Amino acid sequence: MGYLDKKKTDELNKIKRERKIGNLDSPKNPFDYYEREYGTVPRDTERAPFQWVSEVAYKNVHRIVARGYDTTELMEEGYGVIEVLFVDYQARIPTVEEGQMLNYVMIMALEDGLSAPAAISRMVARSKTFLTQACGASIMAFGHAYGAYSAFGNCLEHYLDRVDKGEFSLEAAAELLVKENRHDEALGVSGLMLKDPAAKRMIARAEKLGVAGKYIAFTKEIVKAAQNAFDEPVDLDMLGATGATMMDLGFTPEATWAILAVTRSFAAGAHYIEEVEREESSRLGQQLTPIEDYDGPADRPVPPLSDRNKYAKSAICRTPDEWNTRFEEMKKVRGSGFRIVEEIQDPSKKSGIKKVGKL
């Protein structure tokens, strides 16, 4: 379509200028509203046209190729999911031992009882929707506390970088990491696996297969440091064991996060199925919330609309002190969000593909 021609544009703008539209002609606006164009931006012929850019895979009518390998040929040669994960994320075929280790990790990551991914999947299932939506939703359970593989791995990398730069020894790095992150859910050391040997067995398997490397070594130091620093008993947990093992297999923290979240999603699918098979659907308005669970304001009459000014309380704060007072007051209102302070960061690490698309 492109921009509307000048004559029509001028006609439309003239009518609008004469009619006036709210505050759009205010001199405070950094533009003359009635000089604006209509229609869509014309095609850009100065730059290469848009294409889906990927270094992971391509396909044509006859082939699907990941990192140079035809995926059908990969299967015909006897490879499977385990190997394609190395291909997609690391552009390489794994050694037999690496493949065996990833297989082990994925079995361990598959199921975790009625924890968050399964619970979310079941909740979605109750609204009578597609299985795929429940599986997708379950993946969103993986954050920076539950299944915090990205946070854990990036934390390891941060301190190991400093070791590499000669700032301190591995042992000192582990001690500092524990000191600076002792309350972080992504520490990889906790009291969760004191009676379950699964985490330690995973590390033992990695060592037996000869795939244990610097991340497992560092994680062991972190365990030691945490055991010295904490009053209560702690040990390596599944996050630490799995995260360190995956990174020794060459996966980045983000790749680890994605692979293990998706792995769990298979089981979330089974939970969806069982929920549909064994439980009923939920209808809008069906679920009650017992008053015993409620600790908000007591029941009160709705003031007449005509008395709004008598009851209404403005949120406008004219000074920082007023602002601070209100902020502190609002912290008492659970669910208002004032008790949460967080930084919404860009989780990506780089931006832009300058090498792609030059005409």
- 330 forms part of the interface with other proteins (CB under 8 A): no
Q: How far apart are CA 188 and CA 202, in angstroms?
A: 14
Q: Measured from the CB of residue 214, what is the shortest distance to other proteins in angstroms?
A: 22
- 350 forms part of the interface with other proteins (CB under 8 A): yes
Cβ-in-10-Å burial (0-12, 13-18, 19+) of 134 comes to buried
Which of 13, 21, 4, 89 has its CA nearest to residue 55?
89
Size of the site for other proteins (CB under 8 A): 121
Binding window for other proteins (CB under 8 A); candidates: 74-82, 160-168, 242-250, 320-328: 74-82
Collect all residues with Cβ–Cβ distance below 8 Å to 336 and sequence separation of at least 6: 330
- 145 forms part of the interface with other proteins (CB under 8 A): no
How far are the Cα atoms of 43, 51, 106, 152, 354 from residue 358, in angstroms, in the given order?
A: 16, 12, 41, 38, 8
| Main-chain phi, psi angles of 297, to 5 degrees | -55, 150
Binding-site member from 40, 228, 281, 336 for other proteins (CB under 8 A): 40
Nearer of residues 49 and 304 to other proteins, judged by Cβ: 49
- 322 forms part of the interface with other proteins (CB under 8 A): no
Nearer of residues 115 and 336 to other proteins, judged by Cβ: 115
State which of positions 190-219 bind other proteins (CB under 8 A).
190-192, 194-198, 201, 205
Q: How far apart are CA 236 and CA 173, in angstroms?
A: 17
- 54 forms part of the interface with other proteins (CB under 8 A): yes
State which of positions 258-297 bind other proteins (CB under 8 A).
258-259, 261-263, 265-267, 269-275, 278-279
- 248 forms part of the interface with other proteins (CB under 8 A): no
Q: How far apart are CA 299 and CA 212, in angstroms?
A: 61
- 251 forms part of the interface with other proteins (CB under 8 A): no
